[in-house]
Amino acid sequence: MIYNYGTGDQENWLVLEPVFNSKALGKCEVIMALGNGYMGMRSATEERYVGETRNTFIAGTFNRFHPSEVTELPNVADVFQMRINLNGYPFDLTTGEIQEYKRTINLKTGELIRTVTWRAPDQRRYQLKFQRFVSLANHHLTGQKVTITALEEPLTLKLFSGIDGQMTNSGVQHFIEGERRLFNQNVLQLVQTTSESHIDVVVSSTHRFHINQQPHEPGRIIHMDRRQIFYEYDIQSDQNTPITLEKFSYFATSRDLSHEALLLDEIRAKAVEALSKESEKGYDALLLESAQAWEKTLWSVCPIHIDAADGFDQLAIRFAQYHLRIMTPVHDMRMNIGAKGLTGEGYKGHTFWDTEIFILPYYSYTNPEIAKRLLTYRYLTLEGARRKAKENDYEGAMYPWESAWLADGEVTPVWGAADIVTGESTKIWSGFIEQHITADIAFAVWQYYQLTGDEAFMTAYGYEIIFETARFWCSRLEWSDTDQRYHINQVVGPDEYKEHVDDNAFTNYMAAFNIQLAINYSEALGRKAPEDWIYKLERLYLPEPQRDGVIPQDSTYLQKPTLDLTRYKNSAHVGEIFRTYNLTQVNALQVSKQADVMILMYLLENQFSPEVKKANWDYYEPKTLHDSSLSLSTHVIMATDLGHDSLAYDLFKRAAEIDLGPKLHSSDHGIHAASLGGLWQSIIIGFGGVRMIDGRLRINPHLPEGWRSLKFRIFWKGEPLQITITSSELQVEKTDTQTRIEIEVFGKYYIFDEKVRIVYRD
Amino acid sequence: MIYNYGTGDQENWLVLEPVFNSKALGKCEVIMALGNGYMGMRSATEERYVGETRNTFIAGTFNRFHPSEVTELPNVADVFQMRINLNGYPFDLTTGEIQEYKRTINLKTGELIRTVTWRAPDQRRYQLKFQRFVSLANHHLTGQKVTITALEEPLTLKLFSGIDGQMTNSGVQHFIEGERRLFNQNVLQLVQTTSESHIDVVVSSTHRFHINQQPHEPGRIIHMDRRQIFYEYDIQSDQNTPITLEKFSYFATSRDLSHEALLLDEIRAKAVEALSKESEKGYDALLLESAQAWEKTLWSVCPIHIDAADGFDQLAIRFAQYHLRIMTPVHDMRMNIGAKGLTGEGYKGHTFWDTEIFILPYYSYTNPEIAKRLLTYRYLTLEGARRKAKENDYEGAMYPWESAWLADGEVTPVWGAADIVTGESTKIWSGFIEQHITADIAFAVWQYYQLTGDEAFMTAYGYEIIFETARFWCSRLEWSDTDQRYHINQVVGPDEYKEHVDDNAFTNYMAAFNIQLAINYSEALGRKAPEDWIYKLERLYLPEPQRDGVIPQDSTYLQKPTLDLTRYKNSAHVGEIFRTYNLTQVNALQVSKQADVMILMYLLENQFSPEVKKANWDYYEPKTLHDSSLSLSTHVIMATDLGHDSLAYDLFKRAAEIDLGPKLHSSDHGIHAASLGGLWQSIIIGFGGVRMIDGRLRINPHLPEGWRSLKFRIFWKGEPLQITITSSELQVEKTDTQTRIEIEVFGKYYIFDEKVRIVYRD
């Protein structure tokens, strides 16, 4: 795949597929996915191909197929597919000849456009243009436009279009088939209901035709097959006379907050009415409304400008912001972000620490309202977290490793991929013992609070999360008579290639941070912190740097044999090492999946000296396979801190290429949500050097060599700051001149009320 | 599609696809389907294509996805698919160039063979040969062989093969995912369990490789995806050095009679053991065992030889016999034949009157043991039939229009295709009021008994069926004070384009036949028939021929307007009329879907004079669209009886072409089971003129002009008769010279004990 970054006002806004490649279906479906946080659709083509994955997900509509499985986001009926028959030949790019081809996603407007000049097997040529968007202005709505022109002879077009409810999640059918009907002689509607959570999903579609811009009523026959309702249209047009189809679809569910008090029939009627009304406006007007919403709610709110030799960097951050927006259910606090957004079945739509540690900083810094909503989700899931604690004989709130609907509690599946040695499924331990998530959430609450000063949030939700999580940790600690200290044994840390370890440094330090936070906030609220918390925190074992400065990742890591990892680090496949070793064997080696001690040093950066950071970088990075997309961004930031500037930029490029790069199958299961948040962090926290250190703002820029400037906006204590960084200067502008803020830049402190311009390097 | 009928000892045994056609996928999947009555598989290709349907059905494993749907045969995990990568290019016939191609099903051996010479997009050429069978010798077993030779350069082959449980029935997933495992380092196994009927299905596969006929152990990696377990193999070979893969799979279920007392783990272990043992023999030996079973149990038992100008006729009857065998669950009396056999989702694997009226005569005449088993199924389903009667306030046994598992009772779905006028689903009334099936079953019991003299069957099962069905009819009749007669109102007859009719002639006559049978058998068994039966039968209204000889199909048919049907009768689509009219409108016209009065005159032929038959033919045939595959064979037989010899042959050709003809999509939903039984009847009952008339054997041949001779075997009262018919002579040979039989030929009677030769025409 090659990227063209657009020219003129499209410059660095376009991702382009210049050549049709039937092996790259998954890649384009995902990186060109559409959505609005309410729903997300993979951009499978209108015509079908072997190897495609057609997905439509609506946030929060979780369903459990069977008690032996965990809940997941079900794959809703598909509206984008069409069978197009041109003078007797099915439009299929693996046949005939492609004379021109271009597919682009315009990140600015959210429109997907594909143009093709195709010569059918009978040598007749056609021009086809396909356009699509998922509306950001009306989050139930999608628009689609297809323009077909026969270039050499008149066209007899047969077109099958409607709603296809035969979609599954890799063979799992979550829906009971409901009614299919035609309303008002123009709205097709299909109802489906999830089998266990009993959520009704109502999908409605309507079509409008034009020939040469004149409205046209084609001949049509309605078909209802199993879980399908569609029209077969017959249309004739002359040579060089375009036939245009506009198709609008409307998705509504009984889970929607606005539908909570409605009967299914009312939701259905409302959908027909809304769709009929919206579709009157036509494709172009509806697209414009949506593009305006993109501008108003995203691009004008937190623009990022990178003036760089390589336009790819600018494109990459816009790509990240685009995808972060379409994956985030800003409309409903009962929902959160899935590890693959709404673009694939991977991780079943579940929420992980990815949200708090990798994505939330983006929102806390740039759109605190959204950050608050995402954290409120964690408050709303406290019930499940308390239940998980109780089930494990702990107190307080033990957050699930994977989280779905509010009261679900832990939803991590128990069985994973095949063990290459035994041929059996591998047990997934994360749901049982990857416990750091509980501290990660407390950390994110603290970070949000520090950045925003949002006392109301803390009073309503934040303090309770921090106290409940601290209670969990205190009950979780295990006393050792040997060293007279508390330990956290038998866990999985961020490095998931080490299972059942004791005293994982990241986990222990973050737990201590969490307890300390609770103690601080107790006291700040004028209450006395429980003795128990103080007692246990004082005696909690925190692995110290050894003589060489290296902090043991866990109690046994440093004693394990090492291995030459060159082959695996350079592999084209994630998880290449499992083609040679099974997990038990990898467990016994000094091999890490991802940042572990490194991310500790990033999150709690002022607890470790530069020397210790350097020693740990030098020790752990060579042992880290970066087999998780969560790994690289942390390493970018640490590399900037350690002065490895060109390495930092190389790692940034690699991180940006996780989805946007040339590996055709890297995105098949969905977009790498955390990695996109990490990309923002790499730029703003890493190269921009923006940090919140114990509640204070520090900006130590380290622009990559090829970057002339970096401009962006962040919110600090509720106020937008416009920041411009060049290779030598930093400028910060405020809008509210009534307030004053202080920033630290390379050890110097600046207090200002309007604007400050600092030459940080000569 | 063109058919080549083979040469030499393959003459008229092969169905050939000479050119790959991606639009004919469904056609070849079905007409080249494999099976053995225990299971059936559509012959989807190893590589996947858009539009394919991969189906594996195991007889009797019915499951109901949800109470809102009816039970159906679930689509079991697929073992035949493979992803084949040749020097980096996926084997895909829509890409590159096909230089040679041939796919054949050998009806004699049951082997499917596909040979291709393919030039990959990089211009390298390969020869591939794919072979497959489903064993008739061990009904759990399938064999597959793939031979790949690189013609120009060495070959690096990457091959993905295993078990894919992501299959659905048009999006409906009937299985709970069970364990996937590797046993003994060579047997892959996937377990799936039906969600409602709790039937475990255990699918096991094993692979063996050869390079240039030498055993080879390729590099391999095991993968487990959702509902999938497969191996990725890496193999290198030199130019012109064939790589051969043999794959064997074993299907076992907890529904199998032999597994009834076993635990799942025992079934699994047994499957691994059986598969390991069988696979040792290798593909060629296992195929030979299966081919021998075909010869021993079918081709040598009821051979049919047509010496004709057109070899297609011979092929067509072998095709019918082949398919009738693979659709018939001869191994288990708890199962019956589905309307689409085991070759498609159509009609959900349900059993209709198709079995008794269209297929059973084939078995009753040629393999009475199988006929007995199929009728025993009806005995075993009496519970559901009694329940259906009771639910409708009737007595006795009211057989379900659609039948599945034993106690299920009625399983006809309630909603069907879209009404083109209203856009709503059409209600399917057959399950409520298409009641003639109950008499059809009684008729078939009688016919079987007359042909075989199987008193044991009658005592154990047959009489009870006849008495119970008669009881139903007597309770069903409705008294009319107006004409002082009993009527059967509000039914659907065989012509399903007429719903809610009164006094459908077919239904009334067959009901009368059924009651008469019960009275006769009561008396024959020395009991007095209930007065009620006699009273009601005497007063049951039977529509009489009118002055013009026409029997009214029902009480209103003859009063309805007629319509010029030319356009619909010549249409390429079944149900073409519904593109113009909806069912309510068709209901109001003199338009018939299929034989109705005609089939009455065929089944109860000696109740109607030749003149009446002619009058009704002349009246109804022009009004019949033959929109059911059940229609043509009846018309073939009636045409022979009426002396329309060349028309009869034309209709026979049309009947043979329902599946074997050029309409690419006619078989997409599965084979036309009843039509194949009808094809046998067209030949033996129609052209051969073989009839059982009131327990006597009559043979009035009417060979088509192009046929030089017709030879076949039937059973008469338990004894095989070898019959040879030429255009002028009829010869019948017996094997048991101790018995004597009488036959009627064109009004003359012949009694013989060994052989008779009759010149029936000069």
Q: From A726, A733, A732, select the one nearest A704 (Cα to Cα).
A: A726
**Mean pLDDT calculated for residue range B81-89:** 97
pLDDT tens readout for residues B200-244: 999 999 999 999 999 999 999 999 999 999 999 999 999 999 999
pLDDT digits (tens, 9 = 90+) for B447-484: 999 999 999 999 999 999 999 999 999 999 999 999 99
Residue (of A495, A621, A626, A613) closest to A551 by Cα position: A613
Helix (H, G, I), strand (E, B) or coil at A329: coil
- Partners of residue A92 in chain B, C-beta under 8 Å: 50, 94
> Residues A145, A151, A152, A155: what is their CA dihedral angle, to the nearest 10 degrees?
10
Residues in chain A closer than 8 A to B50 (CB atoms): 48-50, 92
Is B225 within 8 Å of chain A by CB? yes
Domain contains B165: yes
Instruction: For residue B66, give the chain A residue with the closest CA.
Output: A176
Cβ-proximal residues to B81 (8 Å cutoff; 6+ apart), any chain: B44, B46, B47, B48, B54, B161, B164
pLDDT at A536: 98
- The segments of chain A whose pLDDT lies below 50 read none
Question: What is the CA angle B112-B92-A170, rounded to 5?
Answer: 90
Rounded to whole angstroms, the Cα distance separating A760 from A143 reads 49
The answer to whether the CB atoms of A224 and B167 lie below 8 A apart is: no
- Write out chain A residues lying below 8 Å of B168, CB-based: 166, 168, 171, 173
- Could A185 and B23 be called an inter-chain contact, meaning their C-beta atoms sit closer than 8 Å? no
What's the gap in Å between the CA of B22 and the closest CA on chain A?
10
Torsions phi, psi for B223 (to 5 deg): -125, 140
Kind of pairing, strands B56-58 and B141-150? unpaired
> How many interchain CB pairs under 8 A, A with B?
114
* CA distances for B431 relative to A98, A116, A481, A533, B408, angstroms: 51, 50, 76, 71, 13
* Active-site entry in B111, B402, B468, B496: B496
CA distance A430 to chain B (A): 19
List pLDDT tens digits, range B254-268: 999 999 999 999 999
Strand partners, A480: A485
- Of the pLDDT bands very low, low, confident and very high (cuts 50, 70, 90), residue B119 is very high
Position A1 scores a pLDDT of 58
Host domain of residue A252 = 32-260+285-299
Report the distance separating Cα B174 and Cα B165, nearest Å: 11
CATH label of the domain that carries residue B42? 2.70.98.40
Report the C-alpha gap between B730 and B748 in whole angstroms: 13
- Is residue A450 a contact partner of residue A695, using CB atoms and an 8 Å limit? yes
% helix, strand, coil for chain A, step of 5: 35, 25, 40
> What does the block give as tokens for A335?
């929902």
| E strand or H helix at A214 | strand A214-216
Tens digits of residue pLDDT in B256-309: 999 999 999 999 999 999 999 999 999 999 999 999 999 999 999 999 999 998
Helix (H, G, I), strand (E, B) or coil at A308: strand
pLDDT value, residue A230: 96
Q: Report CA B588 to chain centroid distance, whole Å.
A: 32
> Is there a contact between A403 and A350 (Cβ–Cβ < 8 Å)?
yes
Residue at B195: amino acid letter: S
Helix, strand or coil, per DSSP, at residue A676: helix
Helix H or strand E segment including B613: helix B610-620
Give the B window 446-475 contacts with A, CB below 8 Å: none
DSSP string, B583-606: HHHHHTSS-BSS-SHHHHHHHTGG
Phi-psi region of A729 (alpha: psi -120 to 50; beta: other; left: phi over 0): beta
CA A72, CA B673: separation in Å to the nearest integer?
41
Q: What is the CA radius of gyration of chain B?
A: 27
- What are the residues whose beta carbons fall under 8 Å from the beta carbon of B293, sequence distance 6 or more? B135, B136, B137
Residue burial A122-136, b: 16+ Cβ < 10 Å; e: rest: eebbbbbbbbbbbbb
Q: Mapping DSSP to helix (H, G, I), strand (E, B) and coil, where does residue A240 land?
A: coil
User: In the block, which residue shows the tokens 């609506």?
Assistant: A58
- A65–chain B Cβ distance below 8 A for any pair: yes
pLDDT digits (tens, 9 = 90+) for B342-369: 999 999 999 999 999 999 999 999 999 9
Query: What distance separates the 2 farthest-apart alpha carbons in chain B?
Result: 89
B124 is a domain residue: yes
Q: Give the pLDDT of residue B569.
A: 86
Q: Is residue B449 domain-resident?
A: no
Q: Among all residues of chain A, which has the CA nearest to that of B576?
A: A221
Is residue A125 classed as helix, strand or coil in its secondary structure? strand
pLDDT of residue B5: 73
Beta strands, E only, B410-477? 415-418, 425-427
The DSSP line for B216-279 is E--EEEEEEETTEEEEEEEEEE-TT--EEEEEEEEEEETTSGGGTT--HHHHHHHHHHHHHHHH
Q: In the sheet that B690-693 helps form, which strands lie side by side, from edge to edge?
A: B690-693, B696-699, B741-745, B748-752
**Is the pLDDT confidence value at B1 over 90?**
no
Paired tokens of A406: 């509010």
Tell me the per-residue pLDDT of B510-534, one tens digit each, with 9 for 90 and over: 999 999 999 999 999 999 999 999 9
Please tell me the total count of domains within chain A. Answer: 1
| Domain assignment present for B591 | no
Whether A699 maps to a domain, the answer reads no
Distance, CA of A378 to CA of A448 (rounded, Å): 13
Task: Please name the residue that has the structure tokens 């079918």.
Answer: B298
A87 part of contact set with chain B, CB < 8 Å: no
Asked if residue B756 is part of any domain, the answer here is no
Which of B48, B66, B171 is closest, CB to CB, to A168? B171
- In a domain, residue B120? The reply is yes
Angle at B142 between CA B139 and CA B147, to 5 degrees: 155
Put simply, whether A569 touches B (Cβ < 8 Å) is no
CA distance A463 to B553: 82
Integer Cα distance of B107 and B318 in angstroms? 7
Residue of A nearest to B168 (CA): A171
Angle at A44 between CA A40 and CA A48, to 5 degrees: 145
Longest dimension (CA), chain A: 89
User: For B182, which residue in chain A has the nearest alpha carbon?
Assistant: A423
Confidence of residue B423 (pLDDT cuts 50, 70, 90): confident
Dump pLDDT digits (tens) for A593-648.
999 999 999 999 999 999 999 999 999 999 999 999 899 999 999 999 999 999 99
Q: First CA to last CA across chain B, in angstroms?
A: 40
Cα separation, B471 vs B442, whole angstroms: 12
In a domain, B570, yes or no: no
Instruction: Give chain A's count of helices (H) and strands (E).
Output: 20, 31
Distance CA A540, CA A498 (A): 22
pLDDT at B4: 65
The ipTM assigned to this model is: 0.93
Distance of CA A127 to the CA centre of its chain: 35
- For residue A424, the chain B residues in CB contact (below 8 A) are 181-182
pLDDT of B249 above 60? yes
Most A CBs within 10 A among B91, B98, B176, hence the mutation to make, goes to: B176
Check residue B3 and give its pLDDT. Answer: 65
Place of tokens 């004409």: B483
Instruction: Report whether B344 contacts B335 (CB < 8 A).
Output: no
Residues of A acting as catalytic residues: 496
| Cβ atoms within 10 Å, residue B614 | 16
